[in-house]
Structure 1
Amino acid sequence: METLSLDMTVTIVATELPGAADLFRRSAINFCCGGNVPLREAAERAGLSPEDLLSELAALQQAAGRDAPQETEALIEHLVSRYHDTHRQELAFLIPLAEKVERVHGDHPVAPSGLARALSALGEELERHMTSEEQIVFPLMRQGHTVRISQPLTQMRHEHEDAARLLRDIEHAAHGMALPAEACGSWTALYTGLRKFVDDVVEHMHLEDKVLFPRFEEPAM
């Protein structure tokens, strides 16, 4: 991500900076439907100091990726075990749970609508992406063929952009994941798991885009 500024849009920051989505949710800043506004405007709408919001986001940016392994092989193993495997496990739980909540609570005004479909679309996108990494990109990285993977990494970055758009669809379908006071256990479990899953996907993409991929790309001229 470029240097943070109050002119950046909420949507871009939410889908590129680990932890930003959760901060926006806690601050009552909408980034699924009304997120195409600058941070300054979003903060003022929420009754917050723009400078304080920017400071909190800067702290998140400084902390991003700090705990990830630095050695390439260990980082690849971390990405597969911490994110690839976890995404698959969590989607297998979240999609049927979303279907149940939509079916049971469909007449509630803030019930999720189209959430299971949006999660399935992201799951399909992630599965293609992660399989390509596991079968093609990561083996090439282990061999050290930097030039040979420049083109695949461009495709990986495009797929991250597609995933970011699908994350916004999920936030929209879940109405920002705000639970009504009368939400049942299943609905509560769905949104608890969904918040963690969405934040994990952003962390996953950040580690690849900002830490791993640049090691195997041609320097900008």
Structure 2
Amino acid sequence: MQLLDQSLGQIATSVAGATAVFHQHKLDFCCGGQHSLRDALAKKGLPEQDIVNALTALTLQPVQFTDWRKAPTKELITHILERFHQRHRLQLPELSRLARRVEHVHGDDPSCPTGLTDHLDDMYQELESHMMKEEQILFPMLAGGIYPAGPISVMEEEHIQHGDALEKLELLTNNITLPAHACNTWTALYIGLKELKEDLMQHILLENEILFVQPKAKAHGEGGVCCGGCQ
């Protein structure tokens, strides 16, 4: 199948470095992961050949890449817990601390992301509740070979809410764009926000496109249902 006819989710989970290309061109491989590359490029008005060339070049590079579609479910769960759950629990409190400082010192600046601290606190509360439900209920079932439609549907719906939260985060920060006069704290905050966004999108991608998809569906190359709202 040509790259243009593959979904963004398929490419993001099979081509090492593809997500960096997608981030560069603001292609939504997370919430829009079910759309074909052709349709996504047409919607954005982006040149097909340039993107295809960039993705094709990645497939020719000898890079170390874990194809999580082929990994045992328990191994993928362990990776998600260690790489994303633990990381989010470190990221969000520190980002809230930095945002609080920026809002306190630069509150009179029109570029100040007013309301960001409260939003990050809300994101942390919602994400912590979500991760606890996965860790205590859903992940043990998946590790045992059980794919319960109800709990999976609930988690996918909450992924949509996380996508909406990322969209609001970008609105508050002018697409996480630093003003020219930003101080070191402000700079560190926005670097961390970009990392959080990329990590959370990758986290959701692995769950919706791979972990939540039954083994039989994976074998036939069928994608999972992705969230809505990430840009």
Residues 167-199 of structure 1: CA deviation (Å, up to 9, x unaligned) = 000011111111122211100000011100111
Shift of 1:41: 6.5
Match in the other structure for 2:226: none
Amino acid at match of 2:213: P
Q: For residue 184 of structure 2, what is the aligned residue in structure 1? A: 185
Structure number with the higher helix fraction is 1
The AA in structure 2 aligned to 1:167 is L
Structure 1 moving runs of 4+ over 4 Å: 2-5, 38-43, 56-59, 216-220
Unaligned runs of 5+ in 2: 9-17, 27-39, 60-64, 223-231
2:52 maps to which residue?
55
Q: Alpha carbons of 1:157 and 1:193: their partners in 2 closer, same or farther (altered >3 Å)?
A: same
5+ unaligned residues in a row in structure 1: which ranges?
6-16, 26-37, 44-48
Report the Cα offset of residue 200 of structure 1.
0.1
TM-score normalized with structure 2 length: 0.70
Q: Which residue of 1 aligns with 2:102?
A: 101
Counterpart for residue 126 of structure 1: 127
Q: Please, what is the CA RMSD of the aligned residues? A: 3.1
CA distance in 2, matches of 1:154, 1:57: 35
Kindly indicate whether the alpha-carbon contact (under 8 Å) linking 1:19 and 1:199 is maintained by their aligned counterparts in 2. no
- The aligned runs of 1:17-166 (5 Å cut-off) are 18-19=19-20, 22-24=23-25, 40=42, 42-43=44-45, 49-52=46-49, 54-55=51-52, 67=66, 69=68, 70-146=71-147, 149-166=148-165
Identity %: 34
Alignment: residue pair count: 187
Conserved? CA contact 1:68–1:75, under 8 Å: no
Q: Distance in 1 between matches of 2:217 and 2:23?
A: 34
Aligned ranges for residues 5-24 of structure 1 at < 5 Å? 18-19=19-20, 22-24=23-25
